[in-house]
């Protein structure tokens, strides 16, 4: 069967890598990159070193408002699907690319498979939540990463075509960690010692668009007196400067601001951190996979299993809670196999006829 996989950002390429390797044993796959996120680090080295299939087409839609970006992707995806006439469209996660591809395929009466189906934050102020809900409703095959995701779909009346296959991100994390450890020189380059620093990522609009949230987070980081490594998203830099917080971070002798790092460098930074602070769903999971305590700078998480296991604490943008977690949070229970055994890609490909 011909399958078109639609991706729009670096994390989706990473998740698609183990799935594509399995798909191509039995099927003819085409990869459409919407270009939703431009990432200059997705160079030839990214694809060659990690053995990730290169896209067959890049729509190059770039950044725009949610409506315009989604519309541009829908137009490009529809045209490509009419040309290729696949039997299945495969989408990942919760981006505008996910939503647009699911809508375009459905209107052309092409079956849709959604990987990472059933995730819910129950916060509809997040655009990702809307994308998840719509993509799930339009999908014929719903590949869930956890039993919680299956339960979420059941509660919404979706039972048909729902499978708990495990998390393809866990597959990818296990596949790429040894490659990253072999190739990355980030620790040496930045004079970092394993276990001696906290790693921070911060980019979600609920934080960056709120001056008080950003003030609380920055104050807690500075007052913690801990060495913190912070690869800064360009959007976050813009807001830090707008709120006059950038100099406060830059002048701290313990906070190391970095340009956005490559995928393999990020893996090594995560695996060697003492703790991770983040508002990213993906980084929360990677922290869990690599058994690093995670402090989540949001008021909720889609990955409730990481909290239930005691490896993730939710602190929002509360100064006192952030500082307390930095100083005292430490997991005291073993992890459970919520996310499968690293064979999610194999299992879901077996379910695709």
Q: What single-letter DSSP state applies at residue 311?
A: S
Q: Which residue has the tokens 């979600």?
A: 204
Within 8 A by CB and 6+ apart from 100, the residues are 34, 70, 71, 73, 74, 77
Catalogue all structural domains in the chain, each as residue range(s) with its CATH number.
2-164 (3.40.50.2000), 183-328 (3.40.50.2000)
Catalytic (active-site) positions: 203
pLDDT digits (tens, 9 = 90+) for 40-55: 676 677 788 778 889 9
pLDDT digits (tens, 9 = 90+) for 61-95: 988 899 999 999 999 999 999 999 999 999 999 99
40, exposed or middle or buried, with CB in 10 Å at 0-12, 13-18, 19+? exposed
pLDDT digits (tens, 9 = 90+) for 277-335: 999 999 999 999 999 999 999 999 999 999 999 999 999 999 999 999 999 999 989 99
- Cα–Cα–Cα angle for 257, 276, 171, rounded to 5 degrees: 115
**CA torsion sign, 94 to 280 to 69 to 72?**
negative
Within 8 A by CB and 6+ apart from 192, the residues are 186, 229, 269, 272
Q: What is the pTM of this model?
A: 0.91
């Amino acid at each position: 069967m011909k399958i078109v996989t639609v991706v729009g950002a670096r994390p989706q390429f990473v998740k698609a890598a183990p799935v594509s390797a399995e798909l191509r044993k039995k099927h003819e796959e085409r990869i459409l990159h919407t270009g939703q996120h431009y990432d200059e680090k997705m160079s030839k080295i990214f694809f060659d070193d990690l053995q990730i299939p290169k896209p067959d087409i890049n729509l190059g839609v770039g950044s725009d408002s949610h409506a315009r970006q989604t519309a541009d992707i829908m137009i490009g995806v529809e045209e490509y699907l009419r040309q290729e006439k696949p039997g299945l469209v495969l989408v990942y996660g919760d981006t505008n690319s996910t939503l647009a591809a699911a809508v375009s395929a459905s209107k052309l009466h092409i079956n849709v498979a959604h990987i990472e189906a059933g995730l819910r934050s129950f916060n509809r102020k997040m655009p990702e939540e809307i994308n998840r809900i719509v993509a799930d409703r339009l999908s014929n095959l719903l590949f869930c990463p956890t039993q919680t995701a299956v339960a979420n779909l059941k509660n919404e009346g979706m039972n048909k075509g729902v499978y708990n296959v495990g998390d393809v991100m866990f597959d990818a994390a296990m596949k790429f960690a040894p490659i990253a450890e072999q190739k990355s020189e980030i620790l040496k380059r930045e004079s970092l010692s394993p276990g001696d620093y906290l790693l921070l990522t911060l980019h979600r609009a609920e934080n960056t668009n709120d001056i008080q949230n950003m003030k609380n987070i920055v104050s807690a980081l500075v007052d913690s007196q801990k060495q913190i490594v912070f690869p800064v998203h360009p959007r976050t830099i813009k807001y830090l400067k707008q709120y006059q917080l950038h100099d406060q971070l830059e002048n701290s002798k313990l906070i190391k601001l970095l340009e956005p790092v490559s995928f393999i460098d990020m893996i090594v930074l995560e695996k060697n951190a003492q703790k991770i602070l983040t508002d990213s769903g993906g980084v929360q999971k990677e922290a869990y996979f690599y058994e690093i305590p995670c402090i989540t700078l949001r008021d909720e998480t889609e990955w409730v299993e990481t909290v239930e296991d005691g490896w993730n604490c939710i602190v929002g943008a509360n100064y006192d809670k952030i500082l307390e977690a930095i100083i005292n949070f430490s997991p005291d229970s073993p992890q459970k196999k919520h996310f499968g055994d690293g064979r999610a890609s194999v299992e879901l490909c077996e379910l695709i006829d």
